[in-house]
Amino acid sequence: MRKGRVFKWILVGLLGICFAGASFGADIELAKKSTLEEILKRGELRVGFEAGYLPFEMTDKKGNFVGFDMDMAKEMAKAMGVKFKPVNTAWDGIIPALITSKFDIIMSGMTVTQERNLKINFADPYIIVGQTILIAKKHAGKIRSYKDLNDPKYTVTSKLGTTGEQAVKRMIPKANYKSFETEPEAALEVVNGKADAFVYDLPYCAVFMAQQGAGKLVFLDKPFTYEPLAWAIKKGDPDFMNWLNNFLRQVKNDGRYDRIYNKWIKSNKWLKDVQ
């Protein structure tokens, strides 16, 4: 009986080792198939985007692709030790192009949605471009967040039928709200002293502030709604996803992310090169 039991446990142990070996082998094969390995072998990081979403990806006067995402992509390629190759792609075909390996990653101000997440995988959000606020300069120091605007004495503007309008109605219900057909009309209402604040998504507010807000507006650039942007890759690639999330964590804590954020989101120096 004892010999039988010993044999039984030896057999169980051997089977366990076999299964562990098979699992380890599967992990190795999965790693070999990672897009990350393809990038390293190719010596080139191919980045998919659609130029035109200011200030994330655009074309300068010399025809170069520039912007927040472009700088982040260059840092990514540098960290991998490979070349950066931009692949400008029409937005309506950008996800199919990723799936069919026209490029390695989408870095194009893409909002994380549940519908998109069924087709592709997203890394951790690199920026939240929810609703932000441009306030009249006279309110500097008095209005520090959307909560301070929740008063009938303030007039708040936004574009008709947008998440900006929804945010005002939902989160600043006591304010006097005025909607406009276009973003410039709504923002200029504040510049011209006819309203106290303009609520809209972070990228637009950043660009408008750089173009027309100097000395007239104050930019409250901390989003008060959650609309995350993230890099997208093909499904089933845990090695690439792990690398991306660790890269993002590193740049957000070593100063590189802040440098790029300040250059494209807070500064207006880049405007002269793209207008």
Question: Residue 141's domain is classified under what CATH number?
Answer: 3.40.190.10
Residues 78 and 140 in one domain: no
> What is the number of other CB atoms lying within 10 angstroms of the CB of residue 137?
13
Phi/psi of residue 135, each to 5°? -115, 155
Contact between residue 129 and residue 203 where contact means Cβ atoms under 8 Å apart: yes
* DSSP code for 147: G
* Predicted pLDDT at 53: 85
Question: What pLDDT, in 10s, does the model give residues 161-220?
Answer: 888 999 999 999 999 999 999 999 999 999 999 999 999 999 899 989 988 999 999 999
| Amino acid making up residue 207 | V
Residue 13 reports pLDDT greater than 80: no
Q: What is the pLDDT of residue 2?
A: 46
Q: Are 117 and 171 part of one and the same domain?
A: no
With 60 as the cut, is the pLDDT of residue 14 above it? no
For residue range 239-267, what is the model confidence (pLDDT) as tens digits?
999 999 999 999 999 999 999 999 998 88
* Claim to verify: residue 136 and residue 212 sit in the same structural domain: yes
Are 240 and 259 contained in the same domain?
A: yes
Query: Do residues 156 and 239 both lie within one domain?
Result: no
Per-residue pLDDT of 23-80, as tens digits, reads 445 566 767 779 999 999 999 999 999 998 889 999 999 999 999 999 999 999 999 9
Q: Tell me what pLDDT residue 93 has.
A: 94
The number of distinct structural domains making up the chain is 2
Domain that holds residue 77: 36-128+228-274
Residue 211, pLDDT score:
86
Specify whether 155 is located in the same domain as 270. Answer: no
Query: How far is CA 202 from its chain centroid?
Result: 11
pLDDT in tens, 125-151: 999 989 999 999 999 999 999 999 999
- Same domain, yes or no, for 138 and 205? yes
Backbone φ, ψ for residue 179 (5° rounding): -100, 155
Query: Within this chain, do residues 118 and 245 fall inside the same structural domain, yes or no?
Result: yes
pLDDT of residue 24: 47
DSSP secondary structure string, 173-184? TTSEEEEESSHH
Specify the pairing of strand 155-159 against strand 197-201: parallel
What sign results for the dihedral spanned by CA atoms 249, 253, 254, 259? positive
**Is 137 in the same domain as 200?**
yes
Give the span between the Cα atoms of 105 and 122, in whole angstroms: 10
For the chain, the C-alpha Rg in angstroms (whole number) is 25
Q: Grade residue 17 by pLDDT with cuts at 50, 70 and 90.
A: low
Domain match, 186 and 259 both: no
Q: Are residues 54 and 109 in the same domain?
A: yes
* pLDDT value, residue 6: 47
pLDDT at 8: 53
Which residues contact residue 74 at a Cβ distance below 8 angstroms, ignoring those fewer than 6 apart? Answer: 84
What confidence tens digit (pLDDT) does each residue in 64-118 have? 999 999 999 999 999 999 999 999 999 989 999 999 999 999 999 998 988 999 9
Domain assignment present for residue 12? The answer is no
Same-domain check for residues 264 and 149: no
**225 Cβ partners below 8 Å, 6+ apart?**
130, 131, 163, 167, 171
Residue 29, pLDDT score:
72
